[in-house]
Structure 1
Amino acid sequence: MAMRILVRLLSALALCAAVAACGSEVAPVSEHTTSPGGVVPAPAVDVPAGTARTATAVFAGGCFWGVQAVYQHVDGVLGAVSGYAGGTKDTADYKTVSAGKTGHAESVEVTFDPSVVSYGKLLQIFFTVVADPTTLNAQGPDRGTQYRTEIFTTSAEQADVANAYIAQLGSAHAFSEPIVTKVSTLDGFYRAEDYHQNFLAMNPDNPYIVANDMPKLDALQKLFPAEYRPQPS
C-alpha cells in the first residue's frame, strides 16, 4: 500500500512539473499572419527523396508538447520525440533548461519516410501550423530562449533547403513581420523526460493543451488534409 501511494505521489509531482513546463499561464495560441488561405507557399526547392526510407529532422517551435503532437499526425512521420537541442548533454534536463541559460531549445526529433513526406513539406507545416516564426524567444504564453523557433539541420541538404525557404518566405512577404527563426547544424539531440512524451495524447483536456495546442491540430487537419492522419505515430 505504501509503495502504491508513493508511486501515485511521484506521478502527481511529475505531472505538476509537466504542467509548468510550457508556462502556467493559459492563453489562446497566437495567430499567424500568413498568405491568403492560411498556408504559406511550398518550398521552391526540397531535399530529394532518394532511396532512404528513414530520415530525421529536428524542429524547435516553442513548447514541445504541441510540436510533437502536430508531427505525430502527419502521414509519413514514423515517430516524434520531445527533447532538447542547442546545448550540451550535461544541461539537457527540464529543470536546468527552464532557466533559459543553457542554449537549449525545447525541440522535437521527427523520424520520417522521405518517400511519403518530404523535408520541405515538414518545413511548410512548421511555418504554417507549428510556430509563429516572427516572435523572438516566445511562443504563445511562453517566454524564454528555450521557447525560440529554430531549425536544427542534420545534413547540408537540409540546411540549404531551410535557408532557401526562409529567404523565399521573406521575399514573398508571407508574414507581416520578419522571420526570426534560426537555422543551425544539429550538434546533439537529448530526449526529454518520460512525462513530456506524448503529452497531448495523454492529457487532451489539460487547459494549456486545449488553449494552445488543439488549435494546431485542427489547423493541420484543415490546411493539410492530404497529409493529416487521425491516429498519431
Structure 2
Amino acid sequence: MTTARRKPAKATPAKATPAKATPAKATPAKVTAAQPSSDAIVLTGPPGLLRATVSVENAVDQRVAVRGLTLHRSGQQALAGAGAAVIAPGATAQVPVSFRLEPDTPPGEYPAEVEVGGIRREAVLRVEPDLSMHVSPRRVLAEVGGSAVTITVTNDGNLPIPLAAVVRARTDDGGPDPGPDVTLTLTDATTAAPGTTSVLRGSLSVPDELDPTRRHTARVPVGTADLDVIILPRDPSE
C-alpha cells in the first residue's frame, strides 16, 4: 500500500504593523504684558480731566520754578498740562498736575510719559468711563394730543449710548402725586457713538386727562440726557 506523502505547510510571513508616530503637542508660550514700574505717575479720571500728584525734588542751592508740564504718548502729539510750583533749595514738593485728553478717548490704561522740568518720567493714564450727553433744545412746549418734535443729541462722553425709540415720563403739576405719562416716540432707535451729533425726529404724546388749569412738566429721558417738556394751562373748553 502506497502512503501519500504530506506536503510541508508553507510558512506565511507575518505582516509588520508600522508604529504610529504621535506628534508632540506644542505648548504656546505665554505672553505677559509689561507692568509699569512702582514709581510711575498714575493719572486717573475721565478724559476731560486726568489728575495726579507728582513728587519733585530740588537738588540745587536756589529756588526752582516748576512749569510747563508735558504729556508724551506714542503716536500722539505732545499735550501741555496744568501744574506749577516754586520749590525751595533742597526741598521736595508735591505738585498737583492735570491733563485733558480727547473727550472720546475710550476707557482703559495707556502708557505715557510726563515731562516735568525737562525730565521725562514714566506714567500710566487710567481713563475712566464718561457717560456725558446733551440734547438741544433742552426744553420744549407741548400740547394735549400729539405733536412733532426734532431734537439734536450729542454724545460728549467716551462710551456709545443707546437711544430707545419709545420713552415715557410722569407729568408733575407741583402736587404730591405724579400724573399720567408723556410719551416721546422717535422715528428709529439708534446708538449715539462717542463724539457724534445726531438729529432725531419723532413725536410727543400728551394725555388729555391733565388738569387744564394747571401747568404740567415732564422730564423725558433721552439716553443719559433729559428733555424737559412743558404743558401750559389751557382753556377747559379746548
For normalisation by structure 1, the TM-score amounts to: 0.22
Q: Which has the higher contact order (CA 8 A, sep 6+)?
A: 1
Instruction: From the two aligned structures, give the one with the greater helix fraction.
Output: 1
CA radius of gyration, larger in: 2
Name the TM-score, length of structure 2 as normaliser.
0.22
